[in-house]
Structure 1
Amino acid sequence: MPDAYSNGPAKQFPLSALTASLLLSAVAPFADAAAEDTKLNAVTVISTGVRGQQRTVADSPAPIDIINSDQLLKTGRAELSEAISKLLPSFNFGTNIAGYNSVTRPLSNRSLGPTYTLVLVNGKRRHNGAVGQRGSIDNSGANAVDIDLIPVSAVDHIEILKDSAAAQYGSDAVAGVINIILKATDSGGHLETSYGKLYSGQGETLKVAGDEGFKLGESGFFHLAADARKRGEASWNDKADSTVKAYNDPAKQAAWDHVAIKNGDPDLKAFNLAYNAELPLDDVTLYSFSTYGERDAEAANYYRLPNGTASVPEIFPDGYFPLNNIKDTDYQFLFGGKGELANWNWDLSTTYGRNNVHHSSDLNLNPSLGTASPTSFSNLATFRFEQWVNNLDFTRHYDSLFNLTSPVQVSAGLEHRWERFRTFAGEPDAYITGTYPAASGAQAAVTIRPEDEVSLIRNNYAGYLDLGFDLTERWFVDVAGRIEHYDDDSGNTFGLKVNSRYELTDTVAVRGTVGTGFRAPSLTQIGYTVADNRVATDVNGNVVPAVTRLTPSSSSLAKALGGDDLKPEKSRNLGLGLTWQPAPRTSVTADAYLIDIDDRIALTSNIYDQGNGVINGILQSQGVASGTWVNYYTNAFDTRTRGLDIVADHTTPLDALGDVRWSLGFNYNKTTIEDMRDTPASLAGSGVTLVGRDREGDLTEASPKTKWIVGANWKLDDLAVNLQTTRYGSVKTLAVNPSGDRSFGAKWITDLDIAYTFFDHLTASIGGTNIFDVRPDKHAVYSSLGLAAYGNPPFYPGGGYWYTKLAYDF
């Protein structure tokens, strides 16, 4: 539903319940409002969901939400991905504090990871990021699109299709589509600056942003946008307890502040730039857009104790916190043309995108080199993903076709997609093993060795046909089919989708979808290999030092441990919904869904020797050091996801007191495992479960089964007040050993934004996110070091955040 969560909400249960009751009770009094009032959202035109055909949101045969730029700007400290999760109930934004993985955060839709939602910009495919998801609750290894590298200031609105669209847009649109529409005006602009910090004093954030439109030729436009932000580090770990001895000297031990963990939000500096342009000529319209982003992050880690095996006292007599330096460089460029030929509208485009992630480290050691160790490493590893996509699309409207007397919309197209994933080795001092009796390798770091470098290239060729029929004045049917060919082991696939909408009355309609999907393994899942010197969690939930090796499932090491070549994931989906517009300015939608995914890819549990020598024997036979921990990706699960989305929206005119727009969103979502891979015979007697309860829990328990968003937006002349409260249902963390299972209760999180506009152009705002400073429960497995007491909550665990903002529109 468009603008469904535009405006703020309430908090704690009594307030949220009151807001919900006001919303529901407000429907009836306006059922007979003046006929000249336009129905809510009737003028909002979208292009997502039905290829080649624009429709109003109210007439959409599939569930679609729209987020406008004003809503995005009112989400406080949030960047683009977190803003979406704050505004839509079916999306959740995970927190990942796993050191070098703490920059890219997973955005899931309907509890399915980010790789199952296709991201488009102006209807064109966005390239993926270079780093596979690993840590927090997403251990799929897929390299999701990092939309935080798109400037928020460039976004006009976002169309979100909450339904499978693999047959229309591509094989990875299993859970839906996010289509980011860039601003396209030829004049005017917006300038903005904001400042804020967490209640704890950490996470100080400064943002500046702006955009402006320019006329291009007689009737074209060129719209330029940029933003820059700086965010200070923040952590929310407990202090180490009295059992942790950092110093052998009692006096130094007594003076130690017991801060042993600094994992959390890294210090971050980022800059994003974008343009969107269009130039109509005589018979063709040329268009182009581009985005460019740089992001530098500095992530802190575990304290290397001065008396520990990772220290060299001659260099760091008081121990050290290794710093991960992560530099993202990202860009995408698109050029295309469109026009009309023989009554067919055509669109030809080409786009290239690249994401490059470089790792370095300061305040660090390779302890095994002793006093000869560097204290910084300028090159630990580099990851790069490139994508080149070419599209040719045709669409035509027929008043009748196939002996039908009703109109038919025909859309067809071809696509070629080339993609490459590469890793580059770091400097030898970061990974070699010296003679000093201490830990080996740069600490808390991911390192790529020359033998672990990979360069994978894949081509995909696809064609689709989409037919939209207005069978009657009230009944619309859309049928789409897509065939794809991968030139690697993923092979060929055919996807089909049928969706329909029928108006029962002028105010009530039903809609439904049935379809299939296919997701080829990501290149990161196929080929990524790395060894790192971090910490890992054993079967009892204890955090212990470990040298961990991620190896491709097709490698000899993985096959010796039961691995096999990855197969594509196959999906089937059903959807059934109801839309109701009982009155002007009032809209209610309810959409139920079922998504089955077979051969779902996940990371194995940690495979390491548990004292019986079985795993060490296999490692030695493969030339791998005993004691190494191993993971690989495997087709682990067949899953079923069932859920329900409800969205309600109503505007109440209060005459001299302004207007209030009420919004309510609800999502129920449950994933069950229908089948799973057994532990292979090669691991018999090892005590290792290949895919343990921890990986099951990532899919079935780690995301909330319910989420409520309740909001109210009051506007009175130049004053605007947005109040929003979100209830995240309870979550669980499952461990390999059931004694390590933990539960975290439901929480209400409240955001508030108050803005006043002076002189028609200057707007001052003050606000806060999580204004009541609600934290997750401290139920994580106890760590003597104080690690991650909040576990992996579905909302930001850093507590309350306040901000001020000044904006100028011209």
Structure 2
Amino acid sequence: MQKSALKSWLALSASSLMLVALPAHAQDSLGDTVVDTAEDVVITTGTRRALRSAADTPAPVDVISAVEFTANAADDVQDLLRTAVPSYNVNTQPISDAASIVRPANLRGLSPDNTLVLLNGKRRHRGAVIAFLGGGIADGSQGVDVSSIPSMALKQVEVLRDGASSQYGSDAIAGVINFVLKDDSTGGAIEAKYGSTYDGDGDNYRFGANMGFALGDQGFFNVTAEYGETDGTVRAAPRTDVTALVAAGNTAAAQNRVINGYTDEYAQYWGQPDVENDIKLLFNTALAFNEQAEVYATGTYAERTTTGGFFYRNPTNRGGVYRGPSVDADGNLGGDLASVRVGDLDGLGVGEACPAGIPLSGTDGLIPDATVLAQVTASDNCFSFIETIPGGFVPRFGGDLRDFGLTGGLRGLLDLGNGLSYDLSVTHGASRVDFFINNTVNASLGPNTPRDFIPGGQEQSETTLNADFSYLLDVGLASELSIAFGTEYRKEQFDLFAGDAASFALGPLADQGFSSSSNGFGGFPNSSSNSQDSIGTYIDLEAEVTDQLTLQGAVRYEDFSDFGNTVDFKIAGLYKVNDNVSLRSTFSTGFHAPTAGQANITNVTTQNVNGVLVDQGTLPLNTAAGQLAADFIASQNGGNTPELGTEDATSLSAGVAFSAAGVNVTLDAFQIDVDNRIALGANVNFLEALQFAGATADTVGGALTELNAAGTINRADFVGLDDLAQFRFFSNSFDTRSRGVDLVARYPFGFAGGDSAIAVAANYTDTEVTNRGDINPISDGRVQSLEELLPNVKGSATWTHSQGIFRGLLRANYYGKWFDTGNGNPVGAEVLVDAEIAAEVRSGVEFAIGASNLFDNYPDENPGFGGSGQLYPEAAPTGFNGGQYYGKVRINF
């Protein structure tokens, strides 16, 4: 089917929703909940009082049913959250190193690790990936990989839009997301789904099944399995430098233009990464011994392979591989011609001498001088990559991810008056990613370099022990006083695994300006393991003081082995003015502790800075390179060196919920102040740091060699840093203030003989950097990213309707204007429309078709796309794949 015909057909299908029936979801009296029935849903997030509904909590809690959650072209839980929760943002990561494998997400404009993620009420372990390229907002974060959770396993998703560190511990600054799992003991569903983009790429499919089994009369075993794959997309633009190379006669450069079937147009892979062998398994089970005790367990396993692209390496000017010094027409130093670097394989000053570079002449100075190139090619001692890879190259980077988690516990009720309930549990989880990078080089190895490398891997593992208790005490109030208390011990470990030798080797050409390590993502030279632990205790009180007033308070003490201790609290209240109007407010403090990985990892990555590829490094302060960095920073700050500890937060929210003429509305305002945020500080010029240490050379490689000869450093401690332009490090740096408003409204009504509902959810968030930091202040670009990279306004309006055998959905998603800090241009607002229509053709058998971004909208094009090959902004919250369609069949039994 042609693209235009497909769009017309889908638009016609969407319009027909006005005439046929689509599914309805009801909402609680506060308007926060979108569920399958009109009854209030019992929640477990934000309160430890049993049988509490979202309508009765002082803090706003959204409850998203599985039906609404999965009415989308996407299957990844992160993309589903982006549609369902207005303040949740996540985008495609085409060229973002490890962030392409575990994408960073933001709730209320804060860092990914400022959101606590729970699975059935238990803390979920972090992902293995530290997002060094997080678009400024998420730089350096290490969040949870929620993509490893199968969507078919979900009963509902509870989103607490409030600070909750005093209740749950570290990370719960922006809010809490609790994935509640299905617990059916009978029945199940099988689903098959296929989709693609209007452009004909990005094909994806998924097979899934969920089944429940009874364990005697007192238990259940619910299991879910999903398998799928997603092809990559290409949304690149022709690069002007490649076009010029081809026009000048570099036929090899034209061969780089064959990517995923797109020929003679694009030079690099830029688009949605490929995801292969995406396997997700999950079980949830419980078995009661009697009416007062049961054992329970939850287990998850996931794996997938993600492959993305890197930027094109130009054969005339890529530093450390191709770019040579200024030379004369014969290739000797001292001229004014650009050149391609030449290596002397037996060493400088030994045996046959080689030209310093091959002059670039011809059209626009893009073609190597034929005479000097012939001289280098004929010599066994002289080498240039223009001989073996004359058209440049495009690395392909990815990783194999494995993630598992297991929780086991015992819960029940002790017969002590009003009853003391208990929940004793152990949770262990781990996430590991093993990286690979192909079609690249270790330039320092010269002609002996491999083209494919295994740079190593990372693993995050966590073990958590919880003992939670609650008790109801009659103190003469309108309700019994709920007293909850408990303790938590948590240990986390971050392991780094060394790569293959070639991925970090310091080859024989390193002292001649050729960069070491696998180009684009250097291998880890050593394996390491670092851990930390913490112990916390809390008490949580809640009661209905009067029939109209509910109060809640909590205090938590947390002590970290590496970062000291903290005390945090929360007070909250709900006042029911009458049956139709309620007021609510909270005030709390919170904290987030750095991870063992953030404190100890070394990483070098290639970043696009104003159209120029620059190698940026992250250096922990406990390494030789980190100590050099600290000395340089101290020299600029009166001897003050950076420190790494917890960040602190203060949150305030106030809201109103009311119902009138059948319309339920909630409006909540919030303010979150985060001080001493854990961040990667401003980039520091590495060459200047080396020169501060005593080097006089004007290149990083030369400075390292010089300092090594002088005995100032050990060259082996700086493997992989030869082409490093900038470095940064983790520290407590800047302060921010985020202010905003959440609006949720719902109106159920009858229409055309069926049941309809219109739901509106919107968020406004404005983030301001109130302090850029003293010792190592963040850069202007980072400030701008924090304040402007995300839309201030985001929301959706959804119409659902059900009638007879039909059900469906029509949703408009609004993304406000934002600023693309990576490319320096404003991006306008967009509206994306989603639609789904389904029919139960026979009992338990349903067919559905739908589309996301029905009218094929794209973000504003990048004004400078010819230089980078990025046709659309990488950080676009709407994505850049355009329209996507899908069809699915579901069998319920």
2:351 equivalent to 1:277: no
Measured in 2, the distance between the counterparts of 1:800 and 1:668 equals: 26
Contact 2:98–2:129 under 8 Å retained in 1: no
Q: Which residue of 2 aligns with 1:550?
A: 618
Contact 2:649–2:673 under 8 Å retained in 1: yes
| Structure 1 counterpart of 2:786, from 690, 699, 703 | 699
Q: What's the CA shift for 1:305?
A: 4.1
Farther off after superposition, 223-232 or 54-63: 54-63
> Equivalences for 1:110-259 in 2 at 5 Å?
110-137=108-135, 138-241=137-240, 245-246=244-245, 249-250=249-250, 257-259=264-266
| Structure 2 counterpart of 1:564, from 616, 635, 642 | 642
For residue 677 of structure 2, give the secondary structure of its aligned residue in structure 1: strand
For residue 370 of structure 1, give the secondary structure of its aligned residue in structure 2: helix
Cα 1:698–1:523 shift into 2, 3 Å: farther
Q: Which residue of 2 aligns with 1:362?
A: 438
2:341 equivalent to 1:267: no
Measured in 1, the distance between the counterparts of 2:429 and 2:688 equals: 48
Q: What's the CA shift for 1:346?
A: 0.7
> Equivalences for 1:377-776 in 2 at 5 Å?
377=453, 379-398=454-473, 400-401=474-475, 404=477, 406-436=479-509, 438-450=514-526, 453-488=527-562, 490-532=563-605, 534-537=606-609, 541-546=610-615, 548-553=616-621, 555-562=626-633, 563-583=641-661, 586-608=663-685, 623=713, 628=724, 629-654=726-751, 657-678=753-774, 690-734=777-821, 741-776=824-859
Q: What's the CA shift for 1:322?
A: 1.9
* Corresponding pairs, count: 754
Contact 2:679–2:732 under 8 Å retained in 1: yes
Letter in 2 for 1:276: N
Contact 1:478–1:500 under 8 Å retained in 2: yes
Farther off after superposition, 621-630 or 153-162: 621-630
TM-score normalised per structure 2: 0.80
Farther off after superposition, 668-677 or 90-99: 90-99
Contact 2:554–2:569 under 8 Å retained in 1: yes
For residue 281 of structure 1, give the secondary structure of its aligned residue in structure 2: strand
Farther off after superposition, 170-179 or 671-680: 671-680
Q: What's the CA shift for 1:243?
A: 6.7
Q: Which residue of 2 aligns with 1:292?
A: 301
Q: Which residue of 1 aligns with 2:450?
A: 374
Deviations 1:384-425 (A, max 9, x none): 100000111111122x23x65642111111110011111111
Q: What's the CA shift for 1:74?
A: 0.9
2:175 equivalent to 1:102: no
For residue 767 of structure 1, give the secondary structure of its aligned residue in structure 2: strand
Farther off after superposition, 381-390 or 613-622: 613-622
Measured in 2, the distance between the counterparts of 1:305 and 1:216 equals: 63
Measured in 2, the distance between the counterparts of 1:265 and 1:570 equals: 36
Measured in 2, the distance between the counterparts of 1:298 and 1:243 equals: 23
Measured in 1, the distance between the counterparts of 2:611 and 2:737 equals: 31
Measured in 1, the distance between the counterparts of 2:243 and 2:525 equals: 34
Cα 1:804–1:617 shift into 2, 3 Å: farther
Q: What's the CA shift for 1:130?
A: 1.0
Runs of at least 5 residues in structure 2 that lack an aligned partner in the other structure: 1-9, 19-25, 30-34, 258-263, 323-384, 634-640, 696-702
2:80 equivalent to 1:83: yes
Contact 2:237–2:865 under 8 Å retained in 1: no
Q: What's the CA shift for 1:57?
A: 1.7
For residue 526 of structure 1, give the secondary structure of its aligned residue in structure 2: helix
Q: What's the CA shift for 1:613?
A: 8.3
TM-score normalised per structure 1: 0.88
Letter in 1 for 2:213: F
Cα 1:617–1:707 shift into 2, 3 Å: farther
Deviations 1:160-182 (A, max 9, x none): 10011111111210111101011
Q: What's the CA shift for 1:41?
A: 4.8
Q: Which residue of 1 aligns with 2:327?
A: none
* Greater gyration radius: 2
For residue 445 of structure 2, give the secondary structure of its aligned residue in structure 1: helix
Deviations 1:250-292 (A, max 9, x none): 5556786352221332111210000000000135201001000
Measured in 2, the distance between the counterparts of 1:366 and 1:614 equals: 26
Cα 1:613–1:536 shift into 2, 3 Å: farther
Q: What's the CA shift for 1:581?
A: 2.4
Letter in 2 for 1:146: D
Measured in 1, the distance between the counterparts of 2:864 and 2:730 equals: 26
Measured in 2, the distance between the counterparts of 1:553 and 1:461 equals: 26
Q: What's the CA shift for 1:246?
A: 4.2
Q: Which residue of 2 aligns with 1:43?
A: 40
For residue 891 of structure 2, give the secondary structure of its aligned residue in structure 1: strand
Cα 1:304–1:659 shift into 2, 3 Å: same
Letter in 2 for 1:115: D
Q: What's the CA shift for 1:222?
A: 0.1
Q: RMSD of the alignment, in Å?
A: 2.7
Measured in 2, the distance between the counterparts of 1:243 and 1:351 equals: 52
Q: What's the CA shift for 1:40?
A: 7.8
Q: What's the CA shift for 1:774?
A: 1.0
For residue 450 of structure 2, give the secondary structure of its aligned residue in structure 1: coil
Letter in 1 for 2:586: T
For residue 840 of structure 2, give the secondary structure of its aligned residue in structure 1: strand
Letter in 2 for 1:559: A
Measured in 2, the distance between the counterparts of 1:251 and 1:59 equals: 69
Q: What's the CA shift for 1:494?
A: 0.7
Contact 2:409–2:426 under 8 Å retained in 1: yes
Contact 2:440–2:518 under 8 Å retained in 1: yes
Measured in 2, the distance between the counterparts of 1:294 and 1:264 equals: 22
Letter in 2 for 1:565: E
Q: Which residue of 1 aligns with 2:365?
A: none
Contact 2:253–2:392 under 8 Å retained in 1: no
Farther off after superposition, 96-105 or 700-709: 96-105
Letter in 1 for 2:153: A
For residue 196 of structure 1, give the secondary structure of its aligned residue in structure 2: strand
Q: What's the CA shift for 1:692?
A: 0.9
Q: What's the CA shift for 1:318?
A: 4.6
Measured in 2, the distance between the counterparts of 1:794 and 1:264 equals: 14
Measured in 1, the distance between the counterparts of 2:157 and 2:863 equals: 36
Deviations 1:364-401 (A, max 9, x none): 32233233222222x31210100000111111122x23
Measured in 2, the distance between the counterparts of 1:611 and 1:386 equals: 38
For residue 581 of structure 1, give the secondary structure of its aligned residue in structure 2: strand
Deviations 1:622-671 (A, max 9, x none): 745676221212322111111000000121112x5311110101111101
Contact 1:521–1:566 under 8 Å retained in 2: yes
Identity across the alignment (%) = 29
Farther off after superposition, 722-731 or 356-365: 356-365
Cα 1:617–1:52 shift into 2, 3 Å: farther
Letter in 2 for 1:300: G
Farther off after superposition, 707-716 or 258-267: 258-267
